[in-house]
């Protein structure tokens, strides 16, 4: 993630304006950048392994993408639909690459770690790249729809797909094309594999859970428009994080690798799922905290959760602690795009000692996850999860 230039942020007094200009320099300033999502999905999911992926490995993964495009656009040729073929190729090239590919690379690294010598062949490694691109296509499918629902302006430093000339709500159908592309690739490359049914069902299941999380997210955001904070509960927050983020960002890549490597012990699956979902929760809570208290020079972004009225861990815990007078303060100031109102909320957070509460939470969940990993009987998974946990514990980025 690129760092925001310090001089840039110092020149601009209004932090909200700074964020807007930084993200939308090519966009008409009359457009309003206001996400309707209640919970902000983390922009970065670290690669699972403790060591960074090599440039060679990244290059090999990226080199597989043209083959992915060819596989998918060949279907259009067979259907005598050249216009659709050309259109879909543009959809793929604009929306699928361009991110950090962390979910896909986590899958590849997990596959390599869990593979026995007989499984770690060149052919299977290429299949892990293809499966990784399926995960990235799932990400693109969700982002295209998210941007339409949120009326967003930019994505990955460029105009959102639906804001491109002559796109508009055609983007909804484009998202459906991306969704179906996943199953076309799975059928083409994995239908003869013994784990085909498992990975197919996993994609169906995770996609459904993500849709449920998005729905809950939007319903809570809708309630906030009417100044109703009753929906900002820990149960709702945990559900949104689990379904909207943790399943497809943390559980899906590792679970796919486990299927590819015949790591099929049901007890191991159950334990791994619990660990990965808890790691996903920890990561989101950290992201919420850093949005408010992180250094933009380190995080690479100026936080706007308070202005946007997000259902964050800080907001939920604050509502658990406040009295009636403080609740009125929160209702009057939270979700208002004004530095003075933001300052009032931050002062309230300090009064409630939320930074200290976060430190205690981080330590407690770290110990809990550590214990779960220690109880895991699969040694290779233990090593992976320990490295991952150590990498994100006390993170400041």
- Residue 40 placed within a domain: no
In a domain, 38, yes or no: no
Give the pLDDT confidence score for residue 300 in this predicted structure: 65
Rg (CA), the chain: 22
- Structure pTM? 0.80
CATH of the domain at 344: 1.10.600.10
Residue 17 in domain: no
Residue with tokens 């919970």: 39
pLDDT mean across residues, the chain? 84
The residue assigned the tokens 């693109």 is 140
Does any domain span residue 50?
A: no
The tally of domains found in the chain comes to: 1
Is the separation of the CB atoms in 323 and 337 below 8 Å? no
Q: Which residues pair with 154 in a beta bridge?
A: 159
23 falls within a domain: no
In a domain, 159, yes or no: yes
**pLDDT tens string 357-393:** 999 999 999 999 999 999 987 788 888 899 888 888 8
Query: Could you tell me if residue 158 is inside a domain?
Result: yes
The domain containing residue 71 runs over which residues?
55-392
Would you say 275 and 373 are in contact if contact means Cβ atoms under 8 Å apart? yes
pLDDT for 329 equals 94
Higher pLDDT, 21 or 182: 182
Please name the residues in contact with 300: beta carbons below 8 A apart, sequence gap of 6 or more: 1, 2, 3, 4, 397
- Is residue 294 in some structural domain? yes
């Amino acid at each position: 993630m690129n760092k925001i230039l310090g001089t840039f942020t110092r020149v601009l007094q209004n932090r909200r304006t700074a964020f807007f200009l930084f993200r939308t320099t090519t966009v008409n300033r009359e457009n309003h950048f206001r996400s309707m999502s209640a919970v902000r999905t983390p922009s970065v999911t670290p690669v699972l392994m403790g060591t960074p992926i090599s440039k060679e490995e990244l290059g090999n993964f990226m080199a597989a993408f043209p083959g992915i495009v060819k596989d998918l656009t060949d279907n259009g040729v067979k259907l005598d639909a050249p216009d659709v073929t050309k259109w879909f190729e543009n959809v793929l090239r604009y929306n699928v690459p361009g991110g950090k590919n962390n979910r896909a690379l986590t899958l590849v690294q997990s596959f390599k770690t869990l593979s026995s010598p007989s499984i770690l062949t060149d052919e299977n490694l290429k299949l892990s790249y293809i499966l990784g691109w399926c995960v990235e296509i799932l990400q693109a499918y969700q982002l295209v729809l998210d941007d339409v629902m949120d009326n967003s302006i930019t994505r990955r430093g460029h105009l959102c797909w639906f804001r491109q000339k002559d796109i508009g709500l055609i983007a909804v159908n484009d998202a459906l094309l991306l969704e179906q592309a996943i199953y076309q690739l799975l059928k083409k490359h994995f239908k003869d594999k013994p784990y085909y049914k498992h990975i197919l069902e996993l994609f169906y299941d995770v996609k459904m859970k993500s849709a449920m999380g998005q729905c809950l997210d939007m319903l809570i955001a809708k309630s906030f428009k009417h100044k109703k904070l009753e929906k900002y509960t820990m149960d709702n927050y945990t559900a949104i994080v689990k379904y909207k983020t943790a399943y497809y960002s943390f559980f899906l890549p590792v679970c796919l690798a486990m299927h590819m490597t015949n790591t099929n012990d049901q007890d191991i699956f159950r334990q791994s799922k619990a660990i990965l979902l808890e790691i996903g929760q920890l990561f989101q809570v950290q992201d919420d905290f850093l949005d408010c208290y992180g250094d933009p020079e380190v995080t690479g972004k100026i936080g706007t959760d308070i202005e946007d009225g997000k259902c964050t861990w800080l907001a939920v815990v604050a509502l658990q602690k406040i009295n009636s007078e403080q609740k009125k303060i929160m209702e009057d100031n939270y979700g208002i795009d004004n530095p003075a109102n933001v300052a009032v909320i931050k002062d309230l957070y300090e009064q409630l000692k939320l930074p200290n509460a976060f430190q205690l939470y981080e330590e407690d969940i770290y110990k809990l996850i550590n214990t779960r990993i220690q109880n895991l009987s699969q040694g290779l998974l233990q090593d992976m999860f320990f490295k991952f946990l150590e990498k994100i514990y006390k993170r400041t980025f």
